[in-house]
Amino acid sequence: MADIESDEEGAVVSSEIPEVTQQEIEVAPAPAESPKEEVPEKLGDNDDESPSIWQRIKDLFPCLRYNEDLRRVTANNREENAQYKYANNVIKTAKYNIITFLPINLLEQFLRIANFYFLILVILQAIPGISSVPVYSTLVPLLGVLATTAIKDAYDDIKRHISDYRINSRPADIVKPDTDETNLKVRQALPETADMKDNENDLGSFNGYVECEVPNNRLHKFVGSLAWNNEKHSLSNDQILLRGCRLRNTEWMYGLVVYAGHDTKLVKNSGRTKFKRTHIDNMMNKMVLFILGFLGFCVTVTLIGSAIWESLYGTNFQVYVPFDTRFDNPAKIAFVQIISNIIVFNTFVPISLYVSVEVIRLGLSFIINWDLKMYYETNDIPAIARTTTLNEELGQIEYVFSDKTGTLTQNIMKFRKCTINGVKYGEPTVESKPIDFSPWNPYAQDDFEFCDNDLVELCRSGKDPFVEDFFKLIALCHTVLPSQDAEGKLDYNAQSPDEAALVSAARNLGYAFTTRTPFTVSVDLLNREQHGLPSSVNYEVLNILDFNNERKRMSVIVRDPETGKLTLYCKGADTVIFERLDPSCDELQSTTLEHLGTYATEGLRTLVLAKKDIGIDEYTEWSKEYTEASLLTEGRDLAVDKIYNKIEQNLILIGATAIEDKLQDGVPETIANLARADIKIWVLTGDKLETAINIGYSCKLLTEEMKIFIVNSEEKAEVRERLQDAKDWIDKKDSRPEPTTDEPQGPPYGIVLTGQTLRHALKADMEMLLLETASQCKAVICCRVTPLQKKKVVDLIKVHKKAVTLAIGDGANDVGMIKAAHIGVGISGLEGQQAVLSSDYSFGQFRYLERLLLVHGRWSYHRMTLFLKYFFYKNFAFTFSQFLFAFFCGFTAQTLYDPGFIAVYNVIYTSFPVLAIGILDQDCTEKSCLQNPRLYIAGQKGKRFNTQIFLISLLRGICVAIVVFFVLYGFTYLNVYHAGYEWDYQSFGYAASGALIFIVNLQMAMDTNYWNPVIHIFIWGSILSWWVVPPFLSNVPYFYNFNVLSYYGVSNEVLASFHFYFYTFLAMALALLPVFFARIILTELFPSLLDDVRLSEDKISSKERAEWFKGHIQRALPGKKEELLEEEGRVTPVSSGLLRHQRSSYAFAHEEGFGSHILTGRYLGANEKEVHSERTRRNTLTLGRPGSRPKKPSPLEVSKSAMTLPSDSKTLKALDEVQGSASASPVIELEVSTKKDEKESLVETID
């Protein structure tokens, strides 16, 4: 790809793009909810996009920017374009370079209050006469924290530099004059400019100009026009290639830059990610504030004690320690005492707390990434932790909000049933067996299953005109592209699984779609052969009225080659088609509606089919209006939709299709287990009411013993009344005492709400009633909801319940709720990558959610809480002993411990064990976590870490400090400890430090539940380090001579004393044995569920844990994943048999935009200009003669009549992915009126 960083608007650029694999195709995600959203929260790798200073200045001072209402760009005219001051094409998201990294990064770090606090302490310690602690005692740990953070920031910025380089190597947003692409499905050049191809003279002399909309963030829409040679040509999204996309199967492309740099749609969609904080983060901040308050209390006590001591005893020591003349009055002494004691007690505030938390979270993220039991081998999709800040939040989830299609279901469609002219087909019977179509149908597919012989016979005979029209419509009304597979067999490339299922069904039943040209669709009607007619029929395609999420339908206008009759075939949602039917279809509509209800209760997705015969005069007039509307630059979409709607009236109903979308493997078991963990699951779907209820039963969200409340009302007063009735019923029937155990206590109620209901219930005056009612139900299903309603439902729980929420989905319409929830999970499925790009975690199947929460989430929460309890405990044990020493040193801010020990206490002696357990500890095996989901409830209720546990940890630390100090103080009365030496200040501090290290590390060993080599090394290594590091330093003359460490020779005397070992043993016994026996008593007399589970784990658990540890270590090594997968021989779990089929109603997954591509023939290999001329010739010569037959085909038509796409299906699928990801818009579900006499449907759109 050519580097065009300096390109400006108006430049005609060439981009040489090598062929890439399907996985390399990159597109920008769609906006979260609507085109008007200016700053979505996340975009791929550029989460920390930071605009330049100049960009910020222009934002602050609009006068510096060119104010444009309409953008005009002239080709090959830099002088004219320069006057508009358009942006260049360089985007910079990196924060630093080699020169600026150190100063800017340090500035950013010191803007954090904790780091700035310790910087001030370092500065104060450097002032002579203020601190009794050497400056390095605080400087060393501060540098460690700064270095660790700097390394992380440098790593992140290197990734941003790489991303910038990659992005700046891409073109800007360009209009395509030409390309050599022959199979392009997504973008096309205008026929008027296509002839230039790669002729540099023609391109250099091209002087057309583009007028288009101003820069915006609407990825799926572009409105503009090209003026050239006194003609004006309409431009749409079909002619623009966005920055961030890669082309497949083309070597070069020329384009006109219309948006560059920060004006491109990709950058307009980028912005800073909304930072998500966990509940533990918020709790830690409050606890740090409490510790600061406690520090202030200690400083105040020492200040008062110093004043009293100075007035009573201070003068007695002036003979030995004269006062410093600089501090000769009480005010100065008080100031020095405050500062000095803050410095001594600064370790109350854990300087390494936050960086340690980030290290632990990073390690937990790697463990999730390495978990092969969450690896979806079928599609090669691993589990990915896309954030490192939310792992412990996974252990506190109370509400899960889930999409249905593609999340709970497979999004793999199978044609099962249909209703034609009021007759149902495909109903299974006891004798039903799958039919073998191969003896009479050369197009039969082995994987197609159908069991209704009556319909097959009608298809083969061709005697029923409704059956004929039904399958002709399916074979003609679509945007599927035919190709050939490796064996030369006919294959279909569809942009939605629904279309593929329908066209395949028609193919197997004898209506095989075979080829497509810009003008025709060829269908093999196999029943014609028995009448002596050729089976292949080439229908002329005049127009494709494309599908979009608001129209909810697709139509095609074709001409029969034998009769010359024009017919409009239409398929779409029942609500949309029914309101456009001819009055003569009322009776058939009623029957079909009844059948649709039956299909919905069986979990089948439905489409209604209708047709209309069109006269030549009617079509000629309509075609003229359509051409005029399509050339508009403003309001084009609305005008075209209006023209579409004009001809899609008075339709004749034919029937409806029913397609099955099966549940994913393991979905019922996963939902049932999560429910046992007291996790409330809400399904938010666009399906019908009946479909929603049935999917609830299928996936075990709803059970037979539940009472289900259904609120399906349109009137606001009725919605309020029905919600209040449900709440009153629950309150009356569920007047039970508060739960006293960890058993799930949710009432056996479920509620189903429609989108129409939510439109009223989510308003401010009714949302609390909705919340109170729904939150008392174990299962909630919201059907016919829009993407915006999904997000509002999540926000309702977040804001008012203060509960931890998780949203999971796989499509662009799920992005809003994924970003709104505390945790967002994306499923890598068949609907693109928008959900994954916006998520915090992603994997390939819904069933992995069980393991993510009950295993990784619970473990992460346990590890983080164990780390925090121990971290505060060890810091208080260390610092409070210095506070006690103040009472015995005249409150002079003298430190108890060696300054070198103070400097490395939180770096060497106690940091590694706590990090090890914070990443690797397990309080029970993963098997026990899954078999006992009630263990998860402790995290939801915050039982592992709360204010009470925090205070107990501090109290335990204070108790250890009292034991360490006063037991040793008692030994000082013995006066001697070795070879006649007395206990002096330095020996006292050295002995106290040893006892402290032994106690806090042995306490860590007592708290460890899962021993592995890493934890062994860190705990025993930390204890051993005290026997090595201080003796080494205290016996090296360098440290003694330079006064860096004044404890020269102390270790030799202390370690040679028997009293030291006796004191240490006694202190450990007094500090640890009470905790040990208290735990035994509590476990025996008041065992918790966790205690019972751990006792029930047999001896094999240690072996399982050893294998788990070994596996994760190996998975971190290159080349081990495939080997381990082969060794494990993992079998994908299969869901148990279900009594009901998966239900769904209309939920067509088709996307807008392919119809116009097909009609131009650009990616079908045709010359667009010839196609345009040929279509004009057809319209002017043939349409004017009613009843006339098509004329002899032109040479162009003959050359294209047997055209099929090349067999490169991967290319087609890859390009389809580009189209789906680049232009996908949120699904807007149509809300159904419950009033039968009301014909006008209600639509909730999202602008």
Which residue ranges make up the annotated binding site for ATP? 403-405, 499, 547, 571, 605, 685-687, 784, 790, 813-814
**Binding annotation:** 403-405, 499, 547, 571, 605, 685-687, 784, 790, 810, 813-814
Q: Which one-letter amino acid corresponds to residue 91? A: I
- Angle of CA points 445, 447, 450, to nearest 5°: 90
Contacts 24+ apart (CB under 8 A), 795-799: 795/820, 796/762, 796/767, 796/770, 796/771, 797/399, 797/771, 798/822
Name the DSSP class of 553: E
For residue 209, count other CB atoms closer than 10 A to its CB: 17
Q: Which one-letter amino acid corresponds to residue 610? A: A
Q: What does each C-alpha distance from 688 to 685, 792, 1226 come to in angstroms?
A: 8, 20, 18
CA dist., res. 172 & res. 98, Å (int): 28
123: Cβ contacts below 8 Å, ≥ 6 apart:
none
**Residues 479/544, Cβ–Cβ less than 8 Å:** yes
DSSP states of 616-679: HHHHHHHHHHHHHHHT-SSSHHHHHHHHHHHHS-SBEEEEEEEEEEEEPTTHHHHHHHHHHTT-
Bridge pairing between strands 680-684 and 399-402: parallel
CA dist., res. 477 & res. 1186, Å (int): 24
**Residues 1194/1176, Cβ–Cβ less than 8 Å:** no
The DSSP H or E segment spanning 537 is strand 536-545
Cα 161 to its chain centre, rounded Å, is 23
**Residues 561/540, Cβ–Cβ less than 8 Å:** yes
Beta-ladder partners of 823: 806
**Residues 343/138, Cβ–Cβ less than 8 Å:** yes
167: Cβ contacts below 8 Å, ≥ 6 apart:
46, 91, 243, 244, 266
Coil/strand/helix, residue 1: coil
Query: Which tokens sit at 506?
Result: 């028609």
Bridge pairing between strands 707-711 and 680-684: unpaired
Alpha helices in 887-984 (DSSP H): 899-904, 911-920, 926-931, 937-940, 947-971
**Binding annotation for Mg(2+):** 403, 405, 810, 814
CA dist., res. 106 & res. 100, Å (int): 10
Instruction: Give the sign of the dihedral formed by CA 931, CA 932, CA 936, CA 937.
Output: positive
790: Cβ contacts below 8 Å, ≥ 6 apart:
401, 403, 684, 782, 807, 813, 814, 816, 817
| Residue 521 φ then ψ, to 5° | -125, 125
For residue 92, count other CB atoms closer than 10 A to its CB: 17
Cα 764 to its chain centre, rounded Å, is 28
CA dist., res. 245 & res. 25, Å (int): 7
- Angle of CA points 961, 963, 967, to nearest 5°: 130
Annotated active-site residue 380? The verdict is no
Find, among 794, 598, 764, 603, the residue nearest to 683 by Cα: 794
Find, among 946, 1157, 968, the residue nearest to 1054 by Cα: 968
Q: What does each C-alpha distance from 403 to 231, 413, 658, 787, 796 come to in angstroms?
A: 48, 17, 21, 10, 17
Q: What does each C-alpha distance from 972 to 630, 981, 1053, 1135 come to in angstroms?
A: 97, 11, 15, 71
| Residue 1112 φ then ψ, to 5° | -70, -35
Active-site entry in 7, 403, 469, 678: 403
The residues assigned a catalytic role are 403
